[in-house]
Chains A and B, each alone.
Chain A
Amino acid sequence: MNPQTKKTPMSPLTPEDPLYSIASFCEAQLLLRQELPLTDKNFEELQLMNYLQETPGIEESFTGYVCKRCGNRKNHWFGKIPQKPSPIVYCRKCIEMGRVSSFEALYRWTGPQTQSPRIENPCHWDGRLTKFQRNCSQRILEAMTTREPLLVWAVCGAGKTEMLFEGLTAAISRGDRICLATPRADVVRELVPRFHRAFPEVTISALYGGSEEKMEGAQFIIATTHQLLRYEEAFDVMIIDEVDAFPYHADQSLSFASERARKPSSSLVYLTATPRKWLKWKAKLKLIPTVFVPARYHGYPLPTPRFVSTYRLSKTLEKDILPPSIRSWIQGKTKQQRRFLLFTPTIEIAHKLAKITKIECVDAKDPDRIDKINRYRNGERNALITTTILERGVTFPSIDVAVIDAGHKVFDEAALVQIAGRAGRNADDPDGDVIFFHQGRTNAIIGAKKMISMMNRLARRK
């Protein structure tokens, strides 16, 4: 970054200052002209005062172009609009957030900053942590205070959210800016009310594609990783939930975004139940401090999956009948009045099953997705067919889980462990039934079971 952008030591703005609202709206962000809520006159004034700095949206490097918002460098992701004298180059990767081009610059706020309020004792959560959780919670608190990185490797249902509270309480009373980034909008929607209940006085803003509220200068932001693309050196505490999840680990621009969005001296906390290879290695080589939580918050072991072979699945489904093993499982659950989730590898299979069994199904493209999930959560429906969108981060109290065609390539080891982790999350009903219907065991299926057994063994030993 060039030296002029270094923040000048100016006293923080008070809420009475006329600049307060605009400063809190755009500080620590890279915004397009059309995203700034300013008239042309005000805009020019602020630029003259050097409070708004213009920075080119697309830069030309000797290998090609670089998008200054999403960090994209792949040439096939750049488009050209023919115009005289030279064509406009624009980034196609982040175009859904408004077009960044060689003619549409980004603006950053370089005027006086605002200060988040320091709230004493903001946490109103009165639950108790278990032994494992207390240890982990303490480590998180330390990492957030000393601004260090930390990997929290905790099994599904270990109570990751609650373990953050202690650290967050301290951070909020310091007046830190906090961001919790998660790969899925469903998870954002689920987390926000939980944090609202725990920290009622803190301004919490939820950002995801299609979210409406954009609260100015919220102290605590819960966002999907894509939304971080607008931020630059904004957060003192950055928590990345489910680091291993698609699309975070597949899309480089997201790790670029989360890296840029945090301040140079800030704490970075990774949360995951199923770290990928590189993170496991880093933890093993002690390159990143790691805390490991092998037990669930209620102390009962993770449900271990059962395997049932169901061959010729697509052939049977084509004839509009359910394979007998799946049918009897569903019938059994209905008879016992157990609530369950059915995971399918593809949208087509989800629709097919929904047609045969008359159970509602959701997928990522479903316009009623939020309603359907809510209906299931409220108990209006006892069953739901879903694609991998509900594989992680969501909590339904006491359910059973089945995976159809568990050998499909979308179900990797991490996904299967996560899916198995949806079951038995309630202390009153800790043994969920997890069943994988497969057409031949894959490495992922076996690996998932191994991983779950290993966690259970570790939990017993400690």
Chain B
Amino acid sequence: MFCLWCHEEIIPDITWKNVFQFFGKDRKLCEDCQQKLPYIEGPVCPTCSKPTEHGEVCRDCRTWTSHPTLGESLIQNVSVFSYTPFMKDIMAKWKYRGDYELVNMFKAGMEKRFKDNFHKQVLTLVPIPLSKTREQERGFNQAEALAGLLGLPMIHALARVRNEKQAKKSRAERLQSKNPFQLKHRMDTPVLLIDDLYTTGTTLHWAAFLLKSAGCPKVYSFTLIRS
């Protein structure tokens, strides 16, 4: 096996356990790269996973709750990693260069965080969609790729109508933007939205609002990165 990120060869230790396990789990990352992934630990904001000093609700979320329309729609966001320079490099290669295979780097972290937070609930995964043209350019939808790691039922309930790049906008611009989604399927079971980044949370709040107003009982979100 070779490390997905640095391409160093991984030579696994031979133990009694894996000698007999011919089809055991392959390691996707070498020890060094695994260490560098910034898994969020310690106290975080209970509603959006942003690291806070004593685990109190962060300022972003306090502003969200007072939002007139979108305030109550998203119950909680859980994120796996924080946005370090290393993570930025990975995202650039994965999303913008289009190196799809890198999604497997996140598998262990995604599974662990999911088990710790959502194992009790029965949730349907809804990946945040990309616009048609962007998906064609890239060849894949990163949210769908992430949702695929969890191996749970997935429904494409949303479609994107407006084709705007979030990354190029300022915070104020993002908060003022209009609903970028359209509903394709009504959901009547609890939903877990999947996306790659939670920055201001605008995208996820709009998606949650749309699902909720169409009768969805509960909407959570699960994102790879809280930046």
Q: Is the CB of B101 within 8 A of A99?
A: no
List the one stretch of A88-96, A120-128, A309-317, A411-419 in contact with chain B: A88-96
The 8 A CB mask of B3-34 against A (1 = contact, 0 = none) is 00000000000000000000000000000000
Tell me the minimal C-beta distance from B126 to chain A in angstroms.
Answer: 18
Docked-complex contact A96 and B97, CB < 8 angstroms: yes
Contact among B2, B100, B148 with A90 in the assembled complex (CB-CB below 8 Å) = B100
Does A379 lie at the interface of the complex (its beta carbon under 8 Å from any beta carbon of B)? no
Q: Is A15 an interface residue (CB 8 A)?
A: no
A92 near B98 (CB under 8 angstroms)?
no
Partner of B139 from the list A81, A92, A96 (CB cut-off 8 Å) is A81
Contact present for A95 and B100 (CB under 8 Å) = no
For chain B, give the interface size range. Answer: 10 to 19
- Closest chain-B Cβ to A75's Cβ sits at a distance in Å of 11
* Given A76-B2, A95-B93; A83-B99 close (CB under 8 Å): no
Would B140 and A92 count as touching, CB distance under 8 A?
no
CA distance A79 to B5 in the complex (A): 13
List, in ascending order, chain B residues with CB within 8 A of A103's CB: 139
Enumerate chain A interface residues (CB-CB to B < 8 A).
Answer: 76, 79-83, 88, 90, 92, 95-96, 98-99, 101, 103
**In the complex the two chains form, is B97's CB within 8 Å of A99's CB?**
yes
Interface secondary structure of A, over-half rule = mixed
A-side contacts of B97, CB under 8 Å = 95-96, 98-99
- Quick check: B2 and A92 within 8 Å, CB to CB? no
- 7 contacting pairs across A/B (C-beta < 8 A): A79-B99, A81-B98, A88-B139, A92-B99, A95-B98, A98-B97, A99-B98
Of B97, B100, B101, B148, the most chain A CB neighbours within 10 A belong to: B100
- 9 additional A-B pairs beyond A95-B93, A95-B97, A96-B97, beta carbons within 8 Å, are A80-B100, A80-B101, A83-B140, A95-B99, A98-B97, A99-B98, A99-B99, A99-B139, A103-B139
- A83–B139 contact, CB under 8 A? yes
Give every chain A residue within 8 A of B140 (Cβ-Cβ): 81-83
Tell me the bound Cα distance from A99 to B99 in angstroms. Answer: 8
Q: How far is the CA of A32 from the CA of B93 in the complex (A)?
A: 17
What is the distance, in angstroms, from B8's C-beta to the closest C-beta of chain A?
Answer: 12
Assembled-state Cα–Cα distance A427/B44 (Å)? 65
Contact with A along B125-149 (1 / 0, CB 8 A): 0000000000000011000000010
Q: Which of B93-112 contact A (CB under 8 A)?
A: 93, 97-101
Chain B residues, CB < 8 A from A98: 97
CB proximity of A459 to chain B, nearest CB, Å:
42
Query: Across the interface, which residues of A come within 8 angstroms of B100, CB to CB?
Result: 79-81, 90
A422 CB to closest chain B CB, in angstroms?
Answer: 29
Report how far A131 CA is from B63 CA in the complex, Å: 80
A83 to B98, CA, bound (A): 14
Q: Given the complex of chains A and B, what is the CA–CA distance between A302 and B99 in angstroms?
A: 48
**Set of chain A residues within 8 Å of B98, measured between Cβ atoms:** 81, 90, 95, 99
Chain B's nearest CB lies how many Å from the CB of A97? 9
Determine the chain B residues whose CB is within 8 A of the CB of A99 once the complex forms.
Answer: 97-99, 139
How far does the Cβ of B111 sit from chain A's closest Cβ, in whole Å? 19
**Given the complex, which residues of A lie within 8 Å of B2, measured CB to CB?**
76
- A103 CA / B98 CA spacing, docked (Å): 13
CB of B50, distance to nearest CB on chain A (Å): 28
Is B93's CB under 8 angstroms from A101's CB? no
Q: Is the CB of B139 within 8 A of A101?
A: yes
Complexed CA–CA distance, A95 and B99 (Å): 7
A76 proximity list for chain B (CB < 8 A)? 2
Chain B residues contacting A96 (CB-CB under 8 Å) are 93, 97
Residue of B nearest to A92 (CB): B99
Closest chain B CB from A408 CB (angstroms): 18
* Complex Cα–Cα for A103 and B2 (A): 25
State in angstroms the CA–CA spacing of A101 and B98 once bound together: 10
Which residues of the partner chain B approach A82 to less than 8 Å between Cβ atoms?
140, 148
Q: Which residues of B contact A95 (CB under 8 A)?
A: 93, 97-99
A92: which B residues are within 8 A, CB to CB?
Answer: 99, 101
Tell me, rounded to whole Å, the shortest Cβ–Cβ distance linking B146 to chain A. 13
Tell me which residues from 77 to 105 in chain B have a Cβ below 8 Å from any Cβ of chain A: 93, 97-101
Tell me the minimal C-beta distance from A445 to chain B in angstroms: 27
- A79 and B100 alpha carbons, distance in the complex (Å): 7
A346 and B99 alpha carbons, distance in the complex (Å): 29
How far is it, in angstroms, between the C-alpha of A96 and the C-alpha of B100 when the chains are bound? 13
Most A CB contacts (10 A, CB to CB) among B93, B101, B139 go to: B139
Min Cβ gap A368→B in Å is 15
